[in-house]
Amino acid sequence: MKEKSYRSLVKSISWRTIGTIDTILIAWLVIGQLNFAIAIGGVEFFTKMLLYFLHERAWNRIKFGKTETSPIEYEI
């Protein structure tokens, strides 16, 4: 089954939102400055989202671990 590119985009955004919240919290705990932590998270959100999207699209082209599905649910 092949995924549409917009599915990868939505997955990229949802995953990056979770990851960015995590990054902001970690940066805030380590640095202690919320404004700086948000700045780090803001930059990281876009760079990692782009990398994830490209990674997803590349893996969508690789046949490793995929099986072909038949449009016929049964055979006689």
The per-residue pLDDT for range 29-60, each reduced to its tens digit, is 999 999 999 999 999 988 988 888 898 889 88
Q: Is the pTM of this model over 0.75?
A: no
For residue 57, tell me if it sits in a domain: yes
pLDDT at 70 exceeding the cut of 80: no
Query: What is the per-residue burial (b if ≥16 Cβ within 10 Å, else e) of 48-62?
Result: bbeebbeebeeeeee
- Specify if 73 maps to a domain: no
**Residue 68 domain flag:** no
Domain count, the chain: 1
Domain containing residue 47: 5-61
Report the pLDDT value the prediction gives residue 75, as an integer from 0 to 100: 66
